[in-house]
Amino acid sequence: MIASANLQSPISSLQSLNITRAEMERAFYNKDASYDGVFFVAVRTTGIFCLPSCSASPKRENVEFFLSAREAIFAGYRPCKRCHPLDVNGAPPRWAKTLMERVEKNPDEKITAREMANIGVTPERARRWFLDHYGMTFAEWQRGKRLAEAFTQIRNGSPLDDVVFANGYESHSGFRDAFSKTFGAAPMRARHTVAANDGYIAAQFIESPLGPILAAATRDAICFLEFSDRRMLEYNYNQIRKRFGLPILPTTNDALEQLRAELNCYFQGKQKNFTTRLAMNGTPFQERVWNELQEIPHGETISYEQLAQRIQQPTAVRAVARANGSNRISIIVPCHRVIGKDGELTGYGGGLWRKRLLLELERTGHLPGDN
């Protein structure tokens, strides 16, 4: 059973929106999806919190209501695996999933504005959402999927004619222009000049109990891992593109799939150390800090002062803090294990609530609410 943690703010906040408990109960027991994201329902007997539209039907005396998923998590509840309440806060909405699934099945198909309207989305909304979450418009994302496949085919020796028409291009010139703009080399030079430096960075969403994570990797090493709602996400994403001098395409590779499996075990409390290779690519000072972060044992924390001492720079506490904050590979490079010298949690790009839960996971082997 989960204690309510003496939280009064969710109810007062909800009252400020003129939402009564009776209205929330009515919406929840009627499974009214129009309230999804407006409030969240937590069940004391299971330790789970849900969307109002969730099919769960607990007794009224066992539920409490929160204005945000964050408040529910702070009270010790875990997101429901049936209705996925964290999807409201960053995971691809249904229309975006529909578009992505359609592109996966038919990468050479061009989706028209009318077809988008049929699934309830405008081209501008799709453009803005993909730009916010992938750093590219939907048209660029779709083109990237085609070019990623084309690049693989060319690198593996497929005839250019087969590659051009198999990926939905009507002419060699159109394909050559798109390919050269993305990879910085003509298609037939790609086998030598582009393949020599991995060609592109693959990027994918990875679902987690704390919300979706955007991961990116070169052919064999992770270079980016951040919760998708982090501030400055697009800035950091662009920095990766600049530092490696490679385009980022929405596809996967062996490094990302290995990471996906290891993160799954980590969030289940079954994995303490990651074996996925990393491509950190920072300044020498930053990499000293990031390498030292990886030496902090699972389940333990240190202060910024201790971190500075460990790299033999005891007077560089502020510089160490900046390097810690500029880490672009969260969880694996565990910047969340650095806290204030007074034991208080300090800033974390993914949010202090996630930092607290990551530390709790590593301390106990499970997230709050897990049985």
What residues act catalytically?
Answer: 335
Tokens, residue 136: 């590219």
Q: b or e along 214-246 (b: 16 or more beta carbons within 10 Å of the residue's beta carbon)?
A: bbbbbeebbbbbbbbbbeebeebbebbbeebeb
- Grouping H, G, I as helix, E, B as strand and the rest as coil, residue 70 is helix
Contact, 260 vs 244, CB < 8 A? Answer: no
Mark residue 135 as left, alpha or beta (left: phi above 0; alpha: psi -120 to 50; beta: remaining). Answer: left
How far is 216 from 230, CA to CA, in rounded Å? 15
Q: b or e along 202-213 (b: 16 or more beta carbons within 10 Å of the residue's beta carbon)?
A: bbbbbbbbbbbb
Residues 6+ apart with CB under 8 A from 357: 73, 210, 367, 368
Q: Which amino acid makes up residue 370?
A: D
In terms of Cβ atoms closer than 10 Å to its own Cβ (0-12, 13-18, 19+), residue 165 is middle
Report residue 78: phi and psi, to 5°: -110, 145
Q: Which amino acid makes up residue 75?
A: A
How far is 217 from 251, CA to CA, in rounded Å? 10
Contact, 337 vs 302, CB < 8 A? Answer: yes
**Beta strand extents in the chain (DSSP E only):** 40-43, 48-50, 63-66, 78-79, 201-206, 213-217, 222-227, 248-249, 302-303, 338-339
Q: How many residues does the chain have?
A: 371
In terms of Cβ atoms closer than 10 Å to its own Cβ (0-12, 13-18, 19+), residue 154 is buried
